[in-house]
Chain A
């Protein structure tokens, strides 16, 4: 089946620390990959995405590269800020399955000043 596995949280970092959140996937086809972010009490916002192997998605200092050989899409940021505190979701979609998003379990990030 199709699934996404993320590293478990919560993750607590000091401001300006380096962030990595691991994400691996299993898919029966050729998925598109996404990172969504959910701030407290809000809906989900797209952070970045990649639709083919070796593509790098980037936004607001966050980056992730679509690695087909390792079926991974790890999220990185060089220097986190307090305002990055949120829950981060890795997800995949398959066009031939109606485009639904299949989510990982979410990783809560807390950044301390």
Chain B
């Protein structure tokens, strides 16, 4: 049983396009996150939602818009894609308690041409 799933796994698109990445977790967690991993493998938080409410927005361009229809889903929509958006995007989930483990999805590899 997949705990945190993401679709699609790979995304190749042209500059200027709009795309979405979907994330679902079946762990019953209240909190979900989006992280970006760049080409040097550095990981940085982008957004976090707790029970459908945005709680973290880390100076991400407003071309990126997260949406959480329910606490099991957190989607990421990106408008007007740029070359610099090429990265691996990871979704994660956890309970909102101190020291809780975050469980990561397999990642979505986005390549903007």
A residues at B contact (CB < 8 Å):
32, 34, 36, 38, 42-46, 49, 51, 87, 89, 93, 95, 97-103, 105-106, 108
Cβ contacts A to B, 23 pairs, < 8 Å: A32-B98, A32-B99, A34-B101, A36-B104, A42-B106, A43-B4, A43-B104, A51-B98, A87-B41, A89-B43, A95-B99, A98-B48, A99-B100, A101-B43, A101-B102, A102-B45, A103-B42, A103-B43, A103-B44, A105-B42, A106-B41, A106-B42, A108-B41
In the complex, whether B86 has a CB less than 8 A from a CB of chain A is no
In the complex, whether B113 has a CB less than 8 A from a CB of chain A is no
> A43 and B107 in contact (CB under 8 A), knowing A32-B98, A95-B97?
yes
Q: Is the beta-carbon distance between B99 and A98 smaller than 8 angstroms? A: no
Question: How many Å from the CB of A29 to the closest CB on chain B?
Answer: 10
| B-side contacts of A45, CB under 8 Å | 104
How many angstroms between the C-alpha atoms of A49 and B37 in the bound complex? Answer: 21
Q: Is the beta-carbon distance between B48 and A100 smaller than 8 angstroms? A: yes
Size category of the binding interface on chain B? 20 to 34
Known: A49-B99, A93-B99, A99-B48. 20 other contacts (CB 8 A): A38-B41, A43-B104, A44-B92, A44-B104, A89-B43, A93-B102, A95-B97, A97-B56, A98-B48, A99-B94, A99-B100, A99-B102, A100-B33, A100-B45, A100-B58, A101-B43, A101-B102, A103-B43, A103-B44, A105-B42
| A-side contacts of B4, CB under 8 Å | 43
| A-side contacts of B98, CB under 8 Å | 32, 51, 95, 99
| B-side contacts of A102, CB under 8 Å | 45
| B-side contacts of A108, CB under 8 Å | 41
| A-side contacts of B58, CB under 8 Å | 100
Could you give, for residues 25-38 of chain B, a 1 whenever the CB lies within 8 Å of some chain A CB and a 0 otherwise?
A: 00000010101000
